[in-house]
Amino acid sequence: MATEPARRIATPAGSAPPASTGRSFLAGNQQPAASNYAWLAAGTLCSRELVRFVRQRNRVIGAIGQPVLFWVLFGAGLGPTFRLPGAGDAVSYREYFFPGTLALILLFTAIFTTISIIEDRREGFLQSVLVAPIPRWSLVLGKLLGGTLIALAQGLLFLLLGLTVGFSFTPLGLAAIVLFAFVLAFALTGLGFVIAWRLDSTQGFHAIMSVVLLPMWLLSGAFFPPDPSASLGTAWLAWIMRVNPLTYGVAGLRRLLYWGSDVALPLELPSLAACWAVTLLFAAVTFVLALQAAGKRTTGDLL
């Protein structure tokens, strides 16, 4: 028996706190304890994201197609004139742009998966999750893990393309890239969640994408390196790039792509340790912000 009405009715716990009440009336049933329960819920919400993404193939194409197209076209168009300062012809633009494109794929996928919060809200699915007996963190974690795994899968596909421009991966190197990309994707999905939770239209999200998220990516060293001479005219740009957390994400991917190879990067990149630290912090902060956002009820909950 999954439920026993008599027992449930017989356990009104006067002033006991909610958590202990929840456990007490589950005790003796076959239902899992409340903590497992939250993980089960997170897992099921995550798997729902994966299934939905696979069913909506146009999204798969959108999230990976555009960055790859950018990579091919900018690589072809800017390749002849691009010279990495101090590196001569050693690094082609296609090679320089590769980690940035990987970051763009993670960013786009994070956006596309979190935009679904707005759809979930509008289509009503979210209401039934909001009244389910699960803590809000399991809702947030399910959504973020789903988005992260989708982003990671797309990123891996793109890494295969990297073999064509001369990157080669040791198993350990690949594992490090995947792990780093996971943390970065989690951070970006968290950022998308924080933005999407408060919005009631996908148009609003597109506006924020254009004026916040894409510039953040453009100024992350993904598209062009900071000017090493940092003349007065571009000093502000260098500063923005320095405080942009995504700079450390892109730099981390770039460093890991060359990890263990002899190629010396003629770039002033943050150290790998700094990249890990900032990206982990970025992920932790967006997760906390997402939790806070989800704890608030918005008028959009009321359809």
Partner 1 sequence: MSISPAIQISGLSHHYGPRLALDGLDLVVEPAEIFGLLGPNGSGKTTLFRLLSTLIPIQQGSVSILGFDVSRQTAAVRKLLGVVFQAPSLDKKLTVDENLLHQGRLYGLRGAGLRRRRNEMLARLGLADRRGDLVETLSGGLRRRVELAKGLLHQPRLLLLDEPSTGLDPGARGDLWQYLRQVRDEDQVTVVLTTHLLEEADKADRLAIFNTGRLVALDTPDRLRAQVGGDSLSITTDGPAELAADIARQFDLPVAVVDGSVRLEQPDAHQLVPRLVQAFPDRIQSIVLGKPTLEDVFIARTGHRFHHDPAEVAVGN
Q: Is 141 in the site for partner 1 (CB under 8 A)?
A: no
Token pair of 44 as six digits: 């099921």
Q: Is 43 in the site for partner 1 (CB under 8 A)?
A: yes
Dihedral angle sign, alpha carbons of residues 266, 267, 270, 272: negative
The stretch among 22-30, 67-75, 101-109, 236-244 that binds partner 1 (CB under 8 A) is 22-30
Query: Residue from 27, 51, 69, 163 that binds partner 1 (CB under 8 A)?
Result: 51
The stretch among 45-53, 76-84, 105-113, 194-202 that binds partner 1 (CB under 8 A) is 45-53
Q: Is 132 in the site for partner 1 (CB under 8 A)?
A: yes
CB of 110 to partner 1, least distance (A): 19
Q: Is 16 in the site for partner 1 (CB under 8 A)?
A: yes
The stretch among 75-83, 84-92, 104-112, 122-130 that binds partner 1 (CB under 8 A) is 122-130
Q: What is the distance between the alpha carbons of residues 227 and 60, in angstroms, rounded to a whole number? A: 35
Token pair of 93 as six digits: 């633009």
Q: Is 78 in the site for partner 1 (CB under 8 A)?
A: no
CB of 302 to partner 1, least distance (A): 7
Residue 64: how many other CB atoms lie within 10 Å: 21
Phi, psi of 84 (to 5 degrees): -70, 125
Q: Is 25 in the site for partner 1 (CB under 8 A)?
A: yes
Q: Is 298 in the site for partner 1 (CB under 8 A)?
A: no
Q: Is 5 in the site for partner 1 (CB under 8 A)?
A: yes
Q: What is the distance between the alpha carbons of residues 244 and 232, in angstroms, rounded to a whole number? A: 20
Buried b (16+ CB within 10 A) or exposed e, 241-261: beebbbbbbbbbbbbbbbeee
In the chain, which residue ranges form alpha helices assigned H by DSSP?
5-9, 18-26, 34-55, 57-78, 93-123, 125-130, 136-162, 171-198, 202-208, 214-217, 235-243, 245-257, 272-295
Q: Is 28 in the site for partner 1 (CB under 8 A)?
A: no
Query: Residue from 125, 167, 224, 258 that binds partner 1 (CB under 8 A)?
Result: 125
Q: Is 10 in the site for partner 1 (CB under 8 A)?
A: yes
Judge whether 250 and 222 are in contact, CB under 8 Å: yes
Q: Residues interacting with partner 1, by CB under 8 A?
A: 2-3, 5-6, 8-13, 15-19, 21-22, 25-26, 30-32, 34, 36-37, 40-41, 43-45, 48, 51-52, 55-56, 123-125, 127-134, 297, 301-303
